[in-house]
Structure 1
């Protein structure tokens, strides 16, 4: 069997060595996208209205050339698509006062543009139903199909009619963490039944077939997320190295899948798969579409908990060595064999947190950690309904459309910021900065981050449950 192990070890050693002197995107960042710099050392741009374009809008801020950190003086709903034309961008949704930011359109980068270096935190993306411009085959909530070096943290995304998040066209060096992917559209009357989670693929598997194409795929980290009511692809990753750790999937059919020609190494660790009412559960489905086995993939599975009453309840290590699991589920096809599965680390780019607690099932412990902290804050009615149905073990695949996305959310006024640099006067005064000097946002602070980063990072770390859990039980 072909092995990538030696190559990946060399790559990861190089990454580790080169990153020692680097700052993470923010202190809690993990995984392959952790060292995105976003708009660091650039300008600060304020969003001052909820228009979908024009002066003061989010789109205008994103359209601005160069490194930029986008903060919000407003909160509420932006009704329209948001296109990201170039990278070196931080979108700090945690700064939106009171009600957070919901985009009732698509968040996307264009195909074949290779947009790079983005940090996005605490944003909700909930597009309208498919139409002629965005048919159901392309109706992803977030499309970063061939972007690279980016991290999504505390994102709430829903209502995709294809995938909720599309990374298909070779997106690489990506982290999706502490996010909440719920209610992909399922509407049999309109034929919108492709209700799925996350997909990543590489359009070519080797340098000869890539013809100079830099879209590599792989280097994907899916960490500490909740998926609800997604038929499958929670996630679908076909190119490694990729890691799927400490995620919880409820009411899906298939959890981890490939769904494309596949190669590389995959860590699938500490996840929970909980059966729901809409379909029979199959936690893993290794289904590469390669035409010429042996398939060049390797897997490390450990501490994955399956809660499927009547079929299987327990922790799955190596499924090939688990007779009760093998008796209940078909989990491989297309040339995958038992020798591709290991019980030792292929690579370990992110620390494995298994959330074990004495006397507590892995599923209960993971659920207790994730539900208070995942997604964009404050939670809106969609997020609350998703988490309620997870907790109560009910609900269904459907096109869940609340009549009022702002129900229970109250926009407030932003804090006083005399110099307009994105940092409130009180915060600047407490840090020895000058609230009347609009040029001190890039001052390097004791943390190593710039002043504006220190402010937005600290703000994010106190949202939700007041603790961002990154190392298991504290």
Structure 2
């Protein structure tokens, strides 16, 4: 096991390609890995498991590979659509690398389900997850995340695409108060050391099958989650949770591009009714270098950041240009509470990943549009449409995937995975090709 207390990252620019090393000589998870989770080995050194079928289960399936035990690198010898048939894949065994970049074109897309990570040391890259409403009746209880961590730690989700969830598209969650009476115990039982980087998080379904009704949600970071980095993602057409940080969270949100948020953009909320008799914890947020542009579904008085509920917040905010569709500047901060929370404005970040260098906001839109999402070298029709809507200021929040063409229909493709063509430590091709 790596002793992460002794690891120190060398300084690395966001998105840089060189593979820095750690103090003990351990490489980063992959070139450009960022955040407190950057040192995770994932499945490095483990056995290679080949996905050879698009079937939902059985020998050679993705489900079997992700549910397997022991350190493992999951690669693909098949491309196309995997129908999860409304059964999420639950990953309970640690030390996993899911290498979607190894799939032949058009890559791998999961529909009618998602992935739940309930373990540690996991890397997920270059897959698309598009659960959809699947014809379920409104408020019928078909509530599905794209990808969520539940009590997980040392997880990186990088360059993936998420859309059409009926709960959150991409989240870090877990129990609020497990492990004892002290916050230090709670924080070792919920998600921690999580990086969400360079993903497309789009079109959470609004009035679909969630039992609460409206539920177009981007990202939820649950109460007491810590050492969370959200960087370089594109959020588009999500009504709320672009991103939502719950009570006591310690997180950094940097260099994200947010387009057409509906009723909430950035959001912090500690709700007293959810905390009961537990003492409230002060949240710590650093929000730096993000770019927000309103769109057709954005409410006219939407502020960039809303602080809601009863909890206090230590807040570092810097260089976050935010405009409505017509160019009018968004109000920076709005408060919704029956007990005015104490918001302590800080001049520096209260916590920061070692070696992380943020980009100025002037560079963010071009960088995110070029880098975000699964397989940016060969995006699918959904991601291409989303990016075009961001460029042109069009599109809207939707209720059903059928409003924008429905589930993808692509043929199955095949290509052998040849180990000699790949650097197995970083899962990059030796010839420099993207896949």
- Structure 1-normalised TM-score? 0.73
2:255 paired with 1:228: no
In structure 2, the CA distance between the partners of 1:89 and 1:189, relative to structure 1 (3 Å rule), is: closer
CA offsets per residue over residues 168-215 of structure 1, 9 Å max, x none? 22211100001000110123698742101111223xxxxxxxxxxxxx
Q: Structure 2 matches for 1:362-381, cutoff 5 A?
A: 362=362, 365-377=363-375, 378-381=378-381
Q: Secondary structure at the match of 2:304?
A: strand
87, 91, 107: which one pairs with 1:84?
Answer: 91
Q: Secondary structure at the match of 1:394?
A: coil
Q: Secondary structure at the match of 1:16?
A: coil
Aligned to 2:124: 120
2:259 paired with 1:259: no
Aligned to 1:308: 324
Aligned to 2:34: 30
Shift of 1:83: 2.5
Q: Structure 2 matches for 1:11-410, cutoff 5 A?
A: 16=8, 20-21=23-24, 22-80=26-84, 81-109=88-116, 114-129=118-133, 131=136, 136=141, 138-169=143-174, 170-187=190-207, 192-202=213-223, 217-238=225-246, 239-252=248-261, 253-261=263-271, 263-280=282-299, 281-290=302-311, 295=312, 297-308=313-324, 312-313=328-329, 325=331, 330-331=334-335, 333=337, 334-337=339-342, 340-349=344-353, 351-355=356-360, 362=362, 365-377=363-375, 378-398=378-398, 399-401=400-402, 402-403=404-405, 405-406=407-408
- 8 Å CA contact 1:76–1:406 kept in 2: the answer is no
Shift of 1:394: 1.3
Q: Secondary structure at the match of 2:314?
A: strand
- 8 Å CA contact 2:133–2:142 kept in 1: the answer is no
For the aligned residue pairs, the C-alpha RMSD in angstroms reads 3.0
- Structure 2-normalised TM-score? 0.79
- 8 Å CA contact 1:94–1:460 kept in 2: the answer is no
- 8 Å CA contact 1:109–1:115 kept in 2: the answer is no
2:415 paired with 1:414: yes
- 8 Å CA contact 1:382–1:405 kept in 2: the answer is no
More strand, by proportion: 2
Unaligned runs of 5+ in 2: 11-21, 175-189, 272-280
CA offsets per residue over residues 132-162 of structure 1, 9 Å max, x none? 9x96573212132222210000010111112
- 8 Å CA contact 1:98–1:411 kept in 2: the answer is no
Cα distance between partner residues in 1 of 2:39 and 2:356? 16
Q: Secondary structure at the match of 1:385?
A: helix
In structure 2, the CA distance between the partners of 1:137 and 1:217, relative to structure 1 (3 Å rule), is: farther
Q: How many aligned positions are there?
A: 380
Cα distance between partner residues in 1 of 2:240 and 2:417? 46
Shift of 1:63: 2.1
- 8 Å CA contact 1:106–1:142 kept in 2: the answer is no
- 8 Å CA contact 1:201–1:237 kept in 2: the answer is yes
In structure 2, the CA distance between the partners of 1:57 and 1:137, relative to structure 1 (3 Å rule), is: closer
Q: Secondary structure at the match of 1:75?
A: strand
- 8 Å CA contact 1:136–1:192 kept in 2: the answer is no
In structure 2, the CA distance between the partners of 1:17 and 1:92, relative to structure 1 (3 Å rule), is: closer
In structure 2, the CA distance between the partners of 1:247 and 1:72, relative to structure 1 (3 Å rule), is: same
In structure 2, the CA distance between the partners of 1:452 and 1:256, relative to structure 1 (3 Å rule), is: same
Q: Secondary structure at the match of 1:220?
A: strand
Q: Secondary structure at the match of 1:109?
A: strand
Shift of 1:106: 2.5
Unaligned runs of 5+ in 1: 1-11, 203-215, 315-324, 357-361, 418-422, 429-450, 465-474
In structure 2, the CA distance between the partners of 1:415 and 1:86, relative to structure 1 (3 Å rule), is: closer
